[in-house]
Amino acid sequence: MEIKSKLAALSEPFVALKNHVFAGLYFAESISLLGDAFTWVGLALLSYQFGKEKSAGILATALTLRVAAFIIFSPFAGVLADRISRKTILYSTHFIRMAIVACLPFVHHEWQIYVLVFSLNVFNAFFTPTYRSVIPQVTDHAHYRQAVGLSTATFQILGVIGPGLAGILAVWFGAREIFFIDAASFVIAAILILMLPANKLQKPIKYAEKAFTAWHDAIKGIRLLFKNPLIRFALFIEFVSAIAGAQILVNTVGHIKSGLHLDNRHYGWVMAAFGIGASIAAFVAGSLDKSKTRRLSLIVGSLVLAITISITNFVGYPVMLVLWLCAGLGQSLAEMPSETLIGENIPENDQGKVYGSHFAFSHLWWAVAYPIAGFTGNYFPEKDFMYGGIISLAFLGIALFFVTKNNQHEMDHPRTSQN
């Protein structure tokens, strides 16, 4: 019986695929994510063609431009998702990204890479919040968390196997030619979306009597994001997760090669362990914490993540594999609740703009976290993870202090908190 219950918990997210509309949307997103893996592997290989000494700088600049596009355009993408047909946004952004990716094989100057990467992620910024706002529209309340968990787990799994598959295809077809495969993936995903009924992806659009004002609605999305105490706490926990997660993404390779004197193979395995941990947590998170606040998942996930990286500088490689598996578990537990809390606590007519604001702020956290990770890695290479963990724990303590203070205020002033 115990084995059956565990198997049932693992298979629970797949129940959402019985919904044919969500299934079509899910497979379209999965193909698109696989195409994203091809994009970044292709860019890494392309950067080496401009000179090995330039490759790190090119990729760092491209990553910065990617985050900048998300921060700038995501709030407005959420506004559009509440104003026009979401199906139109979903398939049109795929076709446009297909056209942009198809230009990458013909790049001969660095500035061309930067222009194309920024443009690509502008439309990615429009696609992702719209996709997230559609999930609560097409799934019932009982299966919503399972649908989000399945999407998140797939994202993590493709993050592990996608680059490997892209590397194999690059060997067969060539570094530049892989972008054509990438472009084809966007076309297939767009066709799957075109086959979905538009009325199932969005409730009837209610237009306001006043003129459309993007700034007004974008600000409203930000206000709603921070007004709800449950979502606000989850967003602060995402900042803690970003501080710790950036340490993993930025400093793991240096620790493996310079600290432990190992090679690329060992780096691949330890990052695979991180991805596997994140995937497992994404599958079971909805079943582990079914509370309204998701606070247990948020606090335990961020605590596990921060403690795990804090001790990494002082252990060997076998233990690090286990720690990175735990870190992956912690990161998914800390980051997943935000998306479901928005779907469960924000009115349907405002969900698009709030998802857009959330997408922008969650990437803003990473824009802050990456320089912190770079600083600890450059100036404290032997204790970079320890300091990153201490910083994460400090911000977690601040978040818990304010949520405790807020709870006390609600107990002292119940009528005020209800208004």
DSSP assignment string, 323-335? HHHHHHHHHHHHH
Number of domain units in the chain: 2
d(CA 328, CA 114): 30
Cβ contact 255:385 at 8 Å: yes
d(CA 130, CA 128): 5
Closest CA to 244 of 364, 327, 316, 313: 327
> Do 264 and 384 lie in a common domain?
yes
Amino acid at 219: I
Residue 227 placed within a domain = yes
- CATH number of the domain that residue 230 is part of: 1.20.1250.20
> Do 147 and 268 lie in a common domain?
no
Q: What are phi and psi of 114, to 5 degrees?
A: -65, -45
Q: What are phi and psi of 107, to 5 degrees?
A: -75, 135
Closest CA to 136 of 347, 362, 336, 312: 347
Which residue among 204, 238, 261 closes a domain?
Answer: 204
> Do 255 and 370 lie in a common domain?
yes
> Do 406 and 346 lie in a common domain?
yes
- Maximum Cα interatomic distance, the chain, rounded to a whole number of Å: 67
> Do 69 and 110 lie in a common domain?
yes
> Do 149 and 241 lie in a common domain?
no
Structure tokens, 216: 């007004």
d(CA 128, CA 77): 9
Residue 146 pLDDT: 76
Residue 163 placed within a domain = yes
Number of helical (H) and strand (E) elements in the chain, helices listed first: 15, 0
> Do 77 and 195 lie in a common domain?
yes
Residue 392 pLDDT: 95
Which residue among 146, 169, 204 closes a domain?
Answer: 204
> Do 360 and 386 lie in a common domain?
yes
Residue 134 placed within a domain = yes
Domain, as residue range, for 145: 12-204
Length of the chain: 419
Residue 209 placed within a domain = no
Residue 256 placed within a domain = yes
The single-letter DSSP state of residue 18 is: G
> Do 155 and 273 lie in a common domain?
no
Residue 419 pLDDT: 35
> Do 174 and 312 lie in a common domain?
no
Residue 60 pLDDT: 67
Can you list the residues of the chain whose pLDDT is less than 70?
1-13, 44, 48, 51-57, 59-60, 156-157, 159-164, 167, 202-215, 264, 285-289, 405-419
Residue 62 placed within a domain = yes
Cβ contact 77:125 at 8 Å: yes
List of E strands, 275-357: none
Cβ contact 160:272 at 8 Å: yes
Residue 2 placed within a domain = no
> Do 275 and 181 lie in a common domain?
no
> Do 86 and 60 lie in a common domain?
yes
Residue 144 pLDDT: 75
The single-letter DSSP state of residue 262 is: -
Which residue among 143, 175, 204 closes a domain?
Answer: 204
Q: Which are the contacts of 359, defined by CB distance < 8 A and separation ≥ 6?
A: 70, 74, 77, 78, 125, 128, 129, 132
DSSP labels for 369-408? HHHHHHHHHHH-TTSHHHHHHHHHHHHHHHHHHHHHHHHH
- For the beta carbon of residue 253, count every other beta carbon within 10 angstroms: 14
- pLDDT, tens digit (0-9, with 9 covering 90-100), for 131-143: 887 888 788 777 7
What string of H, E and C letters represents the secondary structure of 157-197? HHHHHHHHHHHHHHHHHCCCCHHHHHHHHHHHHHHHHHCCC
Residue with tokens 């139109």: 88
The single-letter DSSP state of residue 211 is: P
Residue 211 placed within a domain = no
Residue 164 pLDDT: 59
d(CA 179, CA 144): 34
